[in-house]
Homo-oligomer: A and B are copies of this chain.
Amino acid sequence: MTKTLTELRATAPWLLHVSTDIVIFTIREGELRVLLRRRYSEAMSVTCWALPGGYLGPVEPLEQCAQRTLAHQTGIDDVYLEQLYTFGRPDRHPKSRVITVAYFALIPWERVCAESAEGVPHIAWRHVDALPDLYLDHAEIIDQARQRLVSKLQYSTIGFEFMPEQFTLGELQCVYETILGEPLDKRNFRKKVLAFGCVEDTGEQRRNGSHRPARLYRYTAPGEVLYIK
């Protein structure tokens, strides 16, 4: 006698379920934004904003579940997902015991546009400082992802993941300032990035109105530890 998951839920309310939730950050118009989707929650009989994500299949690896639900719900695929944290408070879901493994990733806004991940219905890129009411503990998950991002920005080259293929050092600095929420010293910033040897001059320049043309760089190597502050 094999029972379906629905039957099991009815007979065993203490059954454990596992899901994945995915926090995707981008930077647009000087704002750190997160990808949300509009969903109907059966458990709470409401429509609300939530992170992309869903239940783990019986023989599915965790990260594959995250990639599958992300692609299915938002059209974004083939993105490097880093495991963030596993959230398992017994009361985090009103009807079941659901342990969720959260992942996060950063993508450049240029890629969002190129893959038309902007035009998918029921999704939105929202400023992390102006989030709507969110499903379950998703606000807490986003908060923790943001803390990890800020922390990693200070000892890794994670910030480069927001950049398009070519960028000016001024644009890179803007990304860092947006995430850290504070201005950085321009000369010091340029000096550290160039000394670290993880960017190379493309030989091209960007002309921007009346400003001096700015050199365009590309990211060359995932550096070991770049202490930016």
Q: Which residues of A contact B (CB under 8 A)?
A: 1-3, 8, 11-12, 14-18, 56, 58-62, 83, 85-86, 88-90, 97, 99, 101, 154-155, 225, 227
Contact = CB atoms under 8 A, between A and B. Distances in A.
Contacts of A89: 61
A18 B17 CA distance: 9
A83 B88 CA distance: 12
Label chain A's interface by main secondary structure: loop
Integer count of this chain's copies in the complex:
2
Closest 8 CB pairs of A and B: A14-B58, A62-B88, A155-B155, A86-B86, A59-B90, A86-B101, A16-B18, A18-B99
A73 B113 CA distance: 53
Contact of A3 (B12, B83, B225): B12
A58 B97 CA distance: 7
Contact of A86 (B3, B8, B83): B83
24 contacts: A2-B11, A2-B12, A3-B11, A8-B8, A8-B12, A14-B58, A15-B15, A15-B58, A16-B16, A16-B17, A16-B56, A18-B18, A18-B88, A18-B99, A56-B88, A56-B99, A58-B97, A59-B90, A61-B89, A62-B99, A83-B85, A83-B86, A155-B227, A227-B227
